[in-house]
A and B are shown apart, each in its own frame.
Chain A
């Protein structure tokens, strides 16, 4: 049974760095073909893909946000970490992590999401 759960601060101040953790079970990032992505959704708006890390430790980023994002993994803990620097109120959103199954390149399982508000 595949599950993912996002965790991190609910409130961050402008200019601070956000660190989010995705803890997963039911699969391993050491397994060929497995990846984890981060996606966000501002309140009432559409989904926006942010970053991906795969079984080979290769990383990929959103074009517009790549200078602010870092994705990393801890395979011993079954965790993927996303950091986003220089947070701004426009970054207020629910942040989701999802498993990406490479054979079909599909986001087949999602976490419940965590709402991050950026405000002073």
Chain B
């Protein structure tokens, strides 16, 4: 199984400042079709996960443009350009390039 490792596990951020979360996979996520199926999900307290980013860098419908994704191969990053209060929650990376799909441990974003 592909292991997804996120850092940091907790990230205190000042409102209006940027935030960055890293996700590393134990093997390349490049699929046989040449795509990389790495997505980012946000889970606000008491809510189900919500899709933010798919295939490394594609924002899902309705996701603010302060969220961006980047990376390749085994190293990926989610960036929030200016953190807002509604961004508090846990962020997960998820790989779907190979079965079984796997998630990172989650990164808790909180406001300083």
Q: Flag whether B97 is at the interface (Cβ < 8 A).
A: yes
* A106 engages B51 (CB within 8 Å): yes
* B37 engages A49 (CB within 8 Å): no
* A108 engages B49 (CB within 8 Å): no
* A96 engages B48 (CB within 8 Å): yes
Q: Flag whether A100 is at the interface (Cβ < 8 A).
A: yes
B residues lining the A interface (CB < 8 Å) = 1, 31, 35, 37, 39, 41, 43, 48-51, 54-55, 58, 60, 92, 94, 96-97, 99-106
* A112 engages B48 (CB within 8 Å): yes
Q: Which of A91-113 contact B (CB under 8 A)?
A: 96, 98, 100, 104-113
By secondary structure, the A interface counts as: strand
Which residues of B sit under 8 angstroms from A113, Cβ to Cβ? 48
Known: A60-B100, A113-B48. A104 touches B37 (CB 8 A): yes
**Total contacts A-B at CB 8 Å:** 66
By secondary structure, the B interface counts as: loop
* B37 engages A105 (CB within 8 Å): yes
* A96 engages B49 (CB within 8 Å): yes
* B49 engages A110 (CB within 8 Å): yes
Known: A52-B101, A60-B99, A60-B100. A108 touches B48 (CB 8 A): no
Query: In the assembly, what is the distance between CA of A111 and CA of B46, in Å?
Result: 13
* A49 engages B101 (CB within 8 Å): yes
Most chain B CB neighbours (cut-off 10 Å) among A61, A104, A108: A104
Q: How far is the CB of A71 from chain B (nearest CB, A)?
A: 13
Q: How far is the CB of B3 from chain A (nearest CB, A)?
A: 12
Most chain B CB neighbours (cut-off 10 Å) among A46, A60, A61, A106: A106
Which residues of B sit under 8 angstroms from A60, Cβ to Cβ? 99-100
